[in-house]
Amino acid sequence: MGDGRPLPDRRARGPRAVRPDPAALPRPIRLALFALAVAVLLFLCLAPTSDLPKEHLWDKAEHAIAWLVLTALGLALSPKRPLRIALFAIGLGAGVEILQATMGFGRDGDWRDLVADSLGVGVALLSWSMFSRRVARLALRDGEAPSTAADL
C-alpha cells in the first residue's frame, strides 16, 4: 500500500468463523453415520459384481481409497478413539475378504486387498495425526484452547 497507511494485522480477526465439528454431534448420530458408511462399504464389497457400476480404477487402489475414507470418517466422528477405529477398519477388511472368499457372487477373497485396506487405514491415521498436531500448534500459537480434533 504505498500510500503510507500501515498494513492490516493478519492476526487480528473479526468474529470467529464457526468450524464444523462432527465429533460434537450426539453419540447416537455419530454411530448411525459411521454404521451407514460401513453398510455402504459392505454393499460395495459383497454385492454381485453385475450389480455394481463399472469402475476403471485398479482394484487395490479402490480398496485403499475406500478404507482411507471409512477411517477418516471414523476419526472425524470420534477423534479420541484412533486405535479402535483403525482396528475396526482392518478387522472389517479381513471379514470382507473372508466373506468374499466364501460367498460366491463372482467375488474372490484376496489377501492383497487386505494389505490395500490396511494401507488406506495407515494413510488416514498418518494424515489425521499430522492434521491434529498442526491444529493444536495453530491453536496454541493463537492463544486458543485446542479443538477436539487436536485432543488425540
Q: Is residue 33 part of a domain?
A: no
Query: In a structure prediction context, what are the per-residue pLDDT tens digits for the chain, which is 152 residues long?
Result: 455 555 555 555 555 556 678 888 899 999 999 999 999 999 888 877 666 666 666 778 989 999 999 999 999 999 989 999 999 999 999 999 999 888 876 677 788 999 999 999 999 999 999 988 887 787 777 766 555 544 43
Q: What is the DSSP string of 19-36?
A: PP-GGGS-HHHHHHHHHH
Q: Is residue 9 part of a domain?
A: no
Amino acid identity for residue 133 in this structure: R
Q: Is residue 135 part of a domain?
A: yes
Q: Is residue 122 part of a domain?
A: yes
140 near 146, Cβ under 8 Å? yes
Domain that holds residue 109: 59-150
Structural domain total, the chain: 1
